[in-house]
Amino acid sequence: MKPVRIVLADDHPLIREAIGHLVSSTPEFELVGEAANGKECLARVQELRPDILVLDIAMPEMNGEQVAREIRRRCPEVKVIALSGYTDRQFVHAMTKAGAKGYVVKSASGRELIHALRAVASGKSYLSPEVTGAVMTLWEEDGTPNLGSALPRSLGRREKEVLKLIAEGHRSAAIAAQMGITVATVEAHRRNILRKLQLHNAADLTRYALRYGVITL
């Protein structure tokens, strides 16, 4: 399988070096180019035609929103992941409207960025947990996808079933009996769900399930 080809754009050399090392050390990805400003980024993407562009939203020459809009127009096959220090609604809204498939905050771990790259490479969307509250206010009235529903798609079908049952208050033994699996498998699903959603306990899962309509009161 060919590696996913990535271009990285950020005006801070230290960030480019750190993310570049992270991406290059993951066999399924290949860093094929870098850029330090918006105009250079646009040129590199048109030249290299990567699978994914990891794009800082605050850059000289052209900002991330401007670049993303041009990428969508000139190279629509290239998927954009916004990389930002901002969690404010207006930044998330601007980048999703410009066509970004992912939004990762700079305070995220390297593991989260890799998870975002995998999600976007497979055709899904990804939002850092820090910005999901902002996205909950974005509705489709202006044609912008409400990506608040993106994170649940990071769960597998069985994980979603387990999440629903946990949120409804069922214990592991009851879930195992209902789903025809072992208690150990239920617990493994629970751990994976908590890790993927970056939550800590059953109460967090219940609040999450209510927010995203997995269950209703």
d(CA 137, CA 115): 24
pLDDT greater at residue 75 or residue 130: 75
Confidence of residue 134 (pLDDT cuts 50, 70, 90): low
Residue for token digits 């967090």? 204
Inter-residue contact 104 to 112 (CB < 8 Å): yes
Query: Distance between CA atoms of 29 and 44, rounded to whole angstroms?
Result: 17
> Residue 204's pLDDT band (boundaries 50, 70, 90)?
confident
Average pLDDT on 29-47 reads: 96
Model pTM score: 0.64
Of 62-66, 70-74, 153-157, 211-215, give the range with the top mean pLDDT: 70-74
Res. 138: pLDDT tops 70: no
Q: What is the CA radius of gyration of the chain?
A: 19
Say if residues 92 and 135 touch (Cβ distance below 8 Å). Answer: yes
203, 158 contact by CB (below 8 A) = no
Q: Which of 63-67, 79-83, 122-126 shows the highest mean pLDDT?
A: 79-83
Is 153 a residue whose pLDDT tops 60? no
Burial class (CB in 10 A: 0-12, 13-18, 19+), 174: middle
Question: pLDDT confidence of 212, banded at 50, 70, 90?
Answer: low
